[in-house]
Structure 1
Amino acid sequence: MPKELQSAEMRGICSCRYFLFFVSVCLAFSIPTSSTDLIVLMKIKTAMIGPKGSGLDDWIVSSSRASHCLFSGVSCDENSRVVSLNVSFVPLFGTIAPEIGLLNNLVNLTLSCNNLTGKFPAEIANLTSLKLLNLSNNIMYGHVPESIFGGLLELEVFDIYNNNFSGPLPIELVKLKRLKHLHLGGNYFSGEIPSVYCEIQSLEYLGLNGNGLSGKVPASLSRLSNLQELYIGYFSMYEGGIPPEFGSLSSLRMLDMGSCNLTGEIPASLGRLKLLHTLFLQLNRLSGLIPAELSGLVSLKSLDLSNNELTGEIPKGFSELKQLTLLNLFRNHLHGRIPSFIADLPYLEVLQLWENNFTFELPVNLGSNGKLTKLDVATNHLTGMIPRHLCDGKRLETLILMDNYFFGPVPEELGDCKSLTRIRLMKNFFNGTIPPGFFNLPLVDMLEFSDNYFTGKLPDEISGGILGLLTLSNNRITGNVPAAIANLTNLQTLSLELNQFSGEIPPQIFDLKKLSKMNISNNNITGKIPTTIAHCKSLTLVDFSSNNLFGEIPRAIAKLEILSTLNLSRNQLEGQIPIEIRSMTSLTILDLSYNNLSGPVPEGGQFLVFNDSSFTGNPNLCSPLHHLSCLLPQNQDELSGQKSSSSKVAIIVVSIIGVLSFFAAALKFNRYRIKCRESKAWKLTPFQKLDFKVEDVVECLKEENIIGKGGAGIVYRGSMPNGMNVAIKRLVGSSSGRNDHGFSAEIQTLGRIRHRNIVKLLGFVSNNDTNLLIYEFMPNGCLGGLLHGSKGSHLQWESRYRIAVEAAKGLCYLHHGCSPLIIHRDVKSNNILLDSDFAAHVADFGLAKFLHSAGASECMSSVAGSYGYIAPEYAYTLRVDEKSDVYSFGVVLLELITGRKPVGEFGDGVDIVRWVLKTISELSEISKPSDAAAVLAVVDPRLSGYSLVGMINLFNVAMRCVAEMSAERPTMMEVVHMLAGPPHPQSPPNLLAM
């Protein structure tokens, strides 16, 4: 470009800068006009950065006086003044510009569902015409300045749901006499609910749920005569119970007080709320009978009283609840008969009564209303036959009747219920043939018929579209194993053990790409093991024991690279043990006992792991230590292999010498390269105000400051000049140059996250070669180091339960509070850090993904997870999702309960999950273990004085999290709710202390 043009261009840029400066000065001293509104909007756009294609792309200045009125999300009055600014779901980043206070004609300000950060802009107090203010679903933090409410006297809607605001609930809200909708939920407000909120008489909606509130629920809220919806549960821990005065809230339609530690009885006065359509009181400690007066809730559609300590029977008066669609009473102590009128409720869709003490049979007409979608009555004492009308409306999705005393045949009609997605009938006394239609239902992902008395054969035609789990174990089923099982392309678990199957194993089954576990033990299966077993690369467990199999063990079985358990015991197998098995590094359990195997037991490799019991009962097997013949090669292939091995050793020795020479020559160059690297410019990117410089951070990268090393990098402790301690993680395998694959943008997203149970990422320092992440420092280190170290005995019950709850809340935020959600990918006790008060903070969230995307191939352990924490489905999907995080968190809970490490303490490659299951299984051989017996068998002996009830709850949550099928695991939000109760309920008594 010619110099004259360059000079002209520079003059133009300078002129533009002077103009913007001049306009900014004018804004501070002029009366706002439509022109001012345009400039303010451009200021707002600058502060709120959006991605390309976002809703702000058309915010471009033009010659038109009212061009800003055509901006997306902007509406104007007849004078071209902005009256509405509604920009949601973009998403936007950055902050709200303080100039927004100059839009003094603004009536509607909606900036919800973005990623805005920063504190609440005090300048909003100048928007005296504002009626609607919605900043929900962002990442804003700090206190809400009470001074703003002095100018917002016209405000009717104030919604800041799901941010990171903290401090006490603002009392000055009572000045807003026109306020109808107030939603402060999903934040970190603490303290008590101000009793003066009753003065906001215009209030129709009050949402305080999802905070950390305490104290008693103020009875004064009952004076809000216009209130229609009240949400005050979840994460808060109130004292006392439900104020009986709430029965006077005559306009109330929605009352949600779930999961907030309520005690006492349910007030009978609630039965006076004639307009109430939803009553949620689940996950509390409510006791006593269900008040018969609730039958007065004639408009009620949804009733959830689950997870409490309620006793007695379902009130007869509930027959009057004709509008009811959902009835959840599970996990209580209710008993008696399930009333027959339940089947007559015309709109009932969901009936969940599991884990109670109900007896007798199900109502014979249940489902005849044609609306039923979910029925779960597991773990009661119910008997009788399955009602024939459950799927009359062709809408039934979930049928769970397990662990009861049901008997008789399963109705054929259910086999034609195309809407079913999950069927669990195990642990009953059903008999007859399983209706063949069950195996062809298009939406079913789980069929569980184990531990019954089913007979007959399986159908020859099987085509269930998405079936992932099929368990038929411990029945009396006969006939061949159908080859048509190969049509179940999504099958992950096939459990046919303890039946009377005969015939050969269909080779087609091993074409199932996702099949992870196959158990056909204790049948009458004959024939050879198909060589096609090598096709099923996803197998982790194979159990063909106690059958009549013959022939040799296929050498191709060694191609199953992730197989961990192989049980071929108690068959008629012959020939030699394939020497190839010694290269199966994932195989930790091998049982070939009681066959007709011969020849030597191979040495070395994985055979060093197996016990002698793996080979007992084979009289023709010999060990090289005792039989000279075993010292000789058994065939020419092995002899050739030995010669080849000698040649390979020579090559390896020469290679090692060459490598050592190379490293010696490279050492000097490496030292020089380090010096050059340190001389390059570092850049500090802060995510909040930091009172130190980049040089202060780099200065801490010394050997004596190292406090941890892992697959993702090295962690240093840094002491800043202002006295602040930080943790500095030096990442390996990452680059911050031009080709960083979005690493910087991803890290900046993590830096905006604010949650009390997530380690704060304060900023990051980078140059062309290295990334340094700066975290808040956690004085008590990681949970794993403390729990499994010499001080583990000092971490007692209440601390462990608190850590479990806090870590769950942190993960819950990543999964449910971030948009898009963040999957941790490496949940483990070493990534749960403890501050000076031993409060838990989740660390290294999301980093596995970002390291992988930046090309850190050596960090695959971080991407895939850590050994002992990896979910089973990773073996065949090679990817992780949020349910993989849930599994890993379940392992952490088992660590807290047992005090044991996830691996390395149980022998033979058994991890903590398998050990717990094995321990419970051994108990069941004596008698059916109670929850208490199961817990006492595995609990950390260093623990004392804990509540057995609380420990059982933690154990049950852990076992649900480590369910083999990912679909069976709860979400992290459900985990938080299940753990939300106190760790030491007052009843029943502590059995361990007696």
Structure 2
Amino acid sequence: MSPESISGHLLLLLALFFLVISPSFSQSDPRQILLKFKTEVAGSTTQVFISWNENNPVCNFTGVVCDSKNSITEINLSNQGLDGTLDFDSICSIESLQKISLGSNLLHGNISSRLSECANLQLLDLGVNLFSGKFPDISSLTQLQFLNLNLSGFSGPFPWKSLEKLTNLTYLSVGDNLFDRTPFPSEIFNLVKLQTLYLTNSSIEGTIPEEIGNLVSLKSLELSYNYLVGAIPEGITKLTNLQELELYDNELSGGFPVGFRNLVMLSELDVSNNSLEGDLSELRNLTRMESLQLFENNFSGEIPAEFGEFKFLKQFSIYDNMFIGELPAKIGSWADFQYIDVSENFLTGSIPPDMCKNGKIIEVLMLQNKFTGGLPETYADCSSLQRLRVSNNSLSGRVPDRIWGLPNVRMIDLSMNQFEGPVAPNIGEAKSLAQLFIAYNRFSGELPEEISKASSLVEMELTHNQFTGEIPARIGDLKKLNSLYLDGNFFSDTIPESLGSCVSLNDLNLAGNSLSGEIPASLGSLHGLNSLNLSNNKLSGVIPASFSSPRLSLIDLSNNMLIGRVPESLLAEAYNGSFAGNPGLCADGSKGLRQCAPTPRRSGGLGIAKYCFIAGALVLVLSLTCFVLVKSKQKDSESKTNRGFPWDIKQFHVININESEILRSLRRENLIGKGGSGNVYKVELGCGKQLAVKHMWKSDVDLGDRKNHPILPKPESRWPEYDAEIATLSSIRHVNVVKLYCSITSEDSNLLVYEYMPKGSLWDRLHTCPKIEMNWKVRYEIALGAAKGLEYLHHGCDKPVIHRDVKSSNILLDEEMKPKIADFGLAKIVEINKIMDSTHVIAGTHGYIAPEYGYTLNVTEKSDIYSFGVVVMELVTGKKPMQPEFGENKDIVRWVQGEMRSNANLIALVDPNISEEFKGHALNALIIAIRCTMRIPALRPSMKMVVQMLEQIEPYSPIDIMIENDINGVKP
């Protein structure tokens, strides 16, 4: 061996020696491993790593647990905002490590197969993260007892085979991931120590094998939201330790197997939304039951009498089945009963009287049955009650007075029964009441004036009762009222002028009463009014000129005593028959109305004198008006720097703007959009800058006149949409949120001046005819940009902002197709350190509204996330949120879910206009959209997580872009 060779070998040995003895270079040094781990996963908001430094012993690192020998046994950093990729190559070199808890973070990327080298691992929690790709084989982790991968982002085939040897497992949760479809994994049946098995939403198909009975230690079994068919196996009756069984949202059939009564420890059972049938006799001995969910099946027979003795029952939901007979009288009378829903069955008898015995019940839902008798007096003191729905039964008698004034009740639905008597005056105490439905009963007497104090009312349907007297004069105090149906009663006297102050009113129906007098002109100032029916009354006078703007989709003034000329704008084809039965009405050129006589031209001394007098009076009035205007303008010029217009301007971004130039541009030829609160115009300034101006109308009643008005409420903001827009956008600075330059206000109008978005809305680009083709690069960038805008609103503002009306028509596109979130008229600013606000107005647009929002009226950021998921589905599929092809009562979310369940070729869901090589990328975005539209809000990711997921699926390399642009004919 040459001296040079010997020297080289010595140097190599020396280097290896120093590498071994030097802790700073040793890969097995726990401190260096943890500090390296810190650099990889410490997000910008992570605070947990403050104690992780060179001067602190590793056993004092926050989240690190050591044994008595100072060996690291656990890393517990769940829900700490970790953001990065995991390097199990180094972590698993800590041989003493037994537990890794990293759930509920923002970790992403693939998981290395080196995870299998954590040989002593007993607990692994990676749930609720943003990982991608396949989960690796872990068959070597034979000491593992706890494995949680729930909602972690993994996809592809799951290594079920690797679980076969993990016989120490007691907890296994791999649900809510997009794994490939597979039959029920038989490997699980070897895990006889399992106590918890969560496989909900794991793409499992076929039948549940009888071998499920091998898992005799199970306490919780959740197999919901899969593709399971066939009967509930008899093997499940061997699981006598079972406390929770969840099988909802499958396609199971048959009845409860014989022996199901053996599951005496069962406290939670949910088999809803299947095709199960038969009676409930096998459940009669399950006395520990707390939550029983059987809805949307084909069960029949009577409710077992033993259910009335279930002393722990809190939740009972069996709606949409075929049950008959009576409910047990004592049902819900023992524990802190929370809700009952037995709707859409064939139940008879009386309403059980003691379900609110412990004062905890929130919902009583018993609509569409055959119940008889009255509402029990016991519910009059049920202050916890929020929803009372007993419509479409055969109930009768007088409603206990105190029920009308329950403090927390949000909905009272008594429609289609035989109730009688009055609405009690204490309804004014129902400050939470949003929906009052008592149509088609025999209620009588006068509607109490106090109903105007129920300030949260949104919908009132009193149709076809026997109410008499006047409509309450102060009904205009109900600022949130959206629909008012008083038709088919015996109301008399005039229509209250204050109705014109119900600024949220959308539908008004007063038909079939005995109302007289003139139609209040104030109704014409309700710019959100969509439907107006005043037919079959005794109204007189002319149709107010304020109705001349054709905003209504329906107007019916037929069969009254109206006179004069029908405004020309109301003679559209859509209003045919709207004015029949009014002999005094006339119109020019209308088929259904008589021709108006021409204006007579009279002569003679008396006529001349008359017109001279009128002309003189007009000259006098005009002179006085000019004098007042001159004085007013002189005074105005002192305070408004001689602008010449009584407008007040507030700037939020620096812009050289002259309001008079804007006002001159508010002409019909510049109109680019219409809404319930006003019009939108395109304005081009003299300097060439283009703007969009929203002109929002105010009420005709001047604020100053309200101070001592006997009917109208005291001055307050009459335009909550305008206020919301100003409050939200004036302080926001983000590239993906539309820029509000300034507001310009006067006594009767509000102008909001925005940046102009030349490419219009995403809705127009996707759905208008003819469609404008967009390649996947453009669609992806729109999705990502809109997500970043919403992320800023939810997480980047001083106070989180909930948009509440996210939809493709509210995503505007600039010259370069960059998206910006717009229209903040429904936005809510959430106070920090307070519980999320709620509203009694169901804000939003059909097809985009999250299911829990329409049901509970809760306002959370998760509602925005659901709506955003719908937008992404539009981008991927090219379809609208609501289309006839989806079927009855289905929207795009349910359609996509159904297609993914039944269609093996998922690429078929992607818009054909997206080129073939990018359909796989689009499908990745659809998977994110599905996560955003999960039925349970807590399972939806935050917008911060959505942005991360979208960034991870970015499909574009420079070559990708060149290829697709070439295919789509897009120039570089």
TM-score by length of 1: 0.63
Q: Which of 444, 452, 468 is the matching residue for 2:409?
A: 444
Q: Which of 609, 622, 630 is the matching residue for 2:586?
A: 622
Partner of 2:233: 267
Supply the distance in 2 between the matched residues of 1:303 and 1:786 (Cα, whole angstroms): 44
The residue identity in structure 2 corresponding to 1:589 is L
Classify 1:206/1:72 alpha carbon distance in 2 versus 1 (closer, same or farther; 3 Å): closer
- State whether residues 181 and 203 of structure 1, in contact with CA within 8 Å, keep that contact through their aligned partners in structure 2: yes
Counterpart mapping for 1:744-755 below 5 A: none
The residue identity in structure 2 corresponding to 1:142 is G
- State whether residues 807 and 871 of structure 2, in contact with CA within 8 Å, keep that contact through their aligned partners in structure 1: no
Tell me, yes or no, if structure 1 residue 574 matches structure 2 residue 540: yes
Partner of 1:219: 186
Classify 1:643/1:141 alpha carbon distance in 2 versus 1 (closer, same or farther; 3 Å): farther
Tell me, yes or no, if structure 1 residue 360 matches structure 2 residue 347: no
- State whether residues 350 and 372 of structure 1, in contact with CA within 8 Å, keep that contact through their aligned partners in structure 2: yes
Deviation of 1:461 after TM superposition, in Å, equals 2.0
Partner of 2:12: none
Question: Could you tell which deviates more after superposition, 402-411 or 139-148?
Answer: 139-148
The residue identity in structure 1 corresponding to 2:386 is T
Supply the distance in 2 between the matched residues of 1:520 and 1:657 (Cα, whole angstroms): 38
Pairwise CA RMSD:
5.5
Classify 1:129/1:789 alpha carbon distance in 2 versus 1 (closer, same or farther; 3 Å): farther
Tell me, yes or no, if structure 1 residue 188 matches structure 2 residue 165: no
Supply the distance in 2 between the matched residues of 1:938 and 1:505 (Cα, whole angstroms): 39
Classify 1:278/1:444 alpha carbon distance in 2 versus 1 (closer, same or farther; 3 Å): same
Secondary structure of the residue aligned to 2:935 is helix
Partner of 2:42: 48
Secondary structure of the residue aligned to 2:511 is coil
Q: Which of 20, 24, 29 is the matching residue for 2:25?
A: 29
> For this pair of structures, how many residues does the alignment match?
731
Partner of 2:524: 558
Deviation of 1:371 after TM superposition, in Å, equals 3.7
Partner of 1:686: none
Secondary structure of the residue aligned to 1:382 is strand
Partner of 2:196: 229
Which string of whole-angstrom CA distances, capped at 9 and with x for unpartnered residues, describes residues 724-765 of structure 1? xxxxxxxxxxxxxxx995637999xxxxxxxxxxxxxxxxxx
Secondary structure of the residue aligned to 1:247 is helix
Partner of 1:513: 479
Deviation of 1:845 after TM superposition, in Å, equals 9.5
Classify 1:195/1:871 alpha carbon distance in 2 versus 1 (closer, same or farther; 3 Å): closer
Which string of whole-angstrom CA distances, capped at 9 and with x for unpartnered residues, describes residues 865-901 of structure 1? 7899799999xx999965577689899999999x997
- State whether residues 743 and 850 of structure 1, in contact with CA within 8 Å, keep that contact through their aligned partners in structure 2: no
Supply the distance in 2 between the matched residues of 1:307 and 1:208 (Cα, whole angstroms): 22
Partner of 2:263: 297
Supply the distance in 2 between the matched residues of 1:283 and 1:821 (Cα, whole angstroms): 34
Supply the distance in 2 between the matched residues of 1:426 and 1:156 (Cα, whole angstroms): 55
Q: Which of 122, 140, 147 is the matching residue for 1:175?
A: 140
Classify 1:272/1:375 alpha carbon distance in 2 versus 1 (closer, same or farther; 3 Å): same
Deviation of 1:240 after TM superposition, in Å, equals 1.2
**% identity of equivalent residues:** 28
- State whether residues 189 and 211 of structure 2, in contact with CA within 8 Å, keep that contact through their aligned partners in structure 1: yes
Deviation of 1:383 after TM superposition, in Å, equals 1.3
Supply the distance in 2 between the matched residues of 1:390 and 1:878 (Cα, whole angstroms): 25
- State whether residues 63 and 76 of structure 2, in contact with CA within 8 Å, keep that contact through their aligned partners in structure 1: no
Partner of 2:175: 209
- State whether residues 48 and 116 of structure 1, in contact with CA within 8 Å, keep that contact through their aligned partners in structure 2: yes
Partner of 2:274: 308
Counterpart mapping for 1:231-250 below 5 A: 231-234=198-201, 236-250=202-216
Classify 1:548/1:106 alpha carbon distance in 2 versus 1 (closer, same or farther; 3 Å): same
Partner of 1:496: 462
Tell me, yes or no, if structure 1 residue 112 matches structure 2 residue 79: yes
Tell me, yes or no, if structure 1 residue 827 matches structure 2 residue 807: yes
Tell me, yes or no, if structure 1 residue 321 matches structure 2 residue 282: no
Which string of whole-angstrom CA distances, capped at 9 and with x for unpartnered residues, describes residues 39-78 of structure 1? x649826962434xx635855979xx43887665566788
- State whether residues 525 and 547 of structure 1, in contact with CA within 8 Å, keep that contact through their aligned partners in structure 2: yes
Classify 1:164/1:57 alpha carbon distance in 2 versus 1 (closer, same or farther; 3 Å): closer
The residue identity in structure 1 corresponding to 2:266 is L
- State whether residues 356 and 379 of structure 1, in contact with CA within 8 Å, keep that contact through their aligned partners in structure 2: yes
Deviation of 1:364 after TM superposition, in Å, equals 2.4
- State whether residues 27 and 90 of structure 2, in contact with CA within 8 Å, keep that contact through their aligned partners in structure 1: no
Supply the distance in 2 between the matched residues of 1:588 and 1:375 (Cα, whole angstroms): 39
The residue identity in structure 1 corresponding to 2:90 is E
- State whether residues 802 and 860 of structure 2, in contact with CA within 8 Å, keep that contact through their aligned partners in structure 1: no
- State whether residues 331 and 354 of structure 1, in contact with CA within 8 Å, keep that contact through their aligned partners in structure 2: yes
Classify 1:309/1:895 alpha carbon distance in 2 versus 1 (closer, same or farther; 3 Å): farther
Which string of whole-angstrom CA distances, capped at 9 and with x for unpartnered residues, describes residues 743-796 of structure 1? 37999xxxxxxxxxxxxxxxxxxxxx99999xxxxxxx999877776899xxxx
Supply the distance in 2 between the matched residues of 1:371 and 1:190 (Cα, whole angstroms): 44
Classify 1:624/1:511 alpha carbon distance in 2 versus 1 (closer, same or farther; 3 Å): same
- State whether residues 824 and 845 of structure 1, in contact with CA within 8 Å, keep that contact through their aligned partners in structure 2: no
Supply the distance in 2 between the matched residues of 1:868 and 1:250 (Cα, whole angstroms): 44
The residue identity in structure 1 corresponding to 2:554 is I
Partner of 1:155: 121
Supply the distance in 1 between the matched residues of 2:294 and 2:258 (Cα, whole angstroms): 15
Deviation of 1:429 after TM superposition, in Å, equals 0.9
Deviation of 1:202 after TM superposition, in Å, equals 1.3
- State whether residues 218 and 243 of structure 1, in contact with CA within 8 Å, keep that contact through their aligned partners in structure 2: no
Secondary structure of the residue aligned to 1:598 is strand
Q: Which of 568, 587, 601 is the matching residue for 1:603?
A: 568
Question: Could you tell which deviates more after superposition, 361-370 or 438-447?
Answer: 361-370
Supply the distance in 1 between the matched residues of 2:57 and 2:583 (Cα, whole angstroms): 93
Classify 1:901/1:260 alpha carbon distance in 2 versus 1 (closer, same or farther; 3 Å): closer
Classify 1:494/1:321 alpha carbon distance in 2 versus 1 (closer, same or farther; 3 Å): same
Deviation of 1:174 after TM superposition, in Å, equals 1.7
Secondary structure of the residue aligned to 2:543 is coil
The residue identity in structure 1 corresponding to 2:111 is V
Deviation of 1:401 after TM superposition, in Å, equals 0.8
Counterpart mapping for 1:536-935 below 5 A: 536-583=502-549, 586-604=551-569, 611-625=575-589, 626-629=595-598, 666=687, 741=732, 743=734, 825-828=805-808, 847-848=821-822, 882-883=862-863
The residue identity in structure 2 corresponding to 1:827 is K
Supply the distance in 2 between the matched residues of 1:600 and 1:849 (Cα, whole angstroms): 38
Tell me, yes or no, if structure 1 residue 136 matches structure 2 residue 97: no
Classify 1:895/1:551 alpha carbon distance in 2 versus 1 (closer, same or farther; 3 Å): farther
Supply the distance in 2 between the matched residues of 1:450 and 1:398 (Cα, whole angstroms): 17
Supply the distance in 2 between the matched residues of 1:427 and 1:526 (Cα, whole angstroms): 28
Unaligned runs of 5+ in 2: 1-18, 590-594, 603-609, 624-628, 630-643, 645-659, 671-682, 695-729, 739-754, 773-782, 828-842, 904-930, 940-972
Supply the distance in 1 between the matched residues of 2:542 and 2:252 (Cα, whole angstroms): 65
- State whether residues 112 and 134 of structure 1, in contact with CA within 8 Å, keep that contact through their aligned partners in structure 2: no
Secondary structure of the residue aligned to 2:445 is strand
Classify 1:573/1:882 alpha carbon distance in 2 versus 1 (closer, same or farther; 3 Å): farther
The answer to which structure, 1 or 2, has the higher relative contact order (CA under 8 A, 6+ apart) is 1
Deviation of 1:292 after TM superposition, in Å, equals 2.7
Deviation of 1:34 after TM superposition, in Å, equals 8.8
Which string of whole-angstrom CA distances, capped at 9 and with x for unpartnered residues, describes residues 410-441 of structure 1? 21112222221111101111111112221121
- State whether residues 384 and 407 of structure 1, in contact with CA within 8 Å, keep that contact through their aligned partners in structure 2: yes
Partner of 1:66: 56
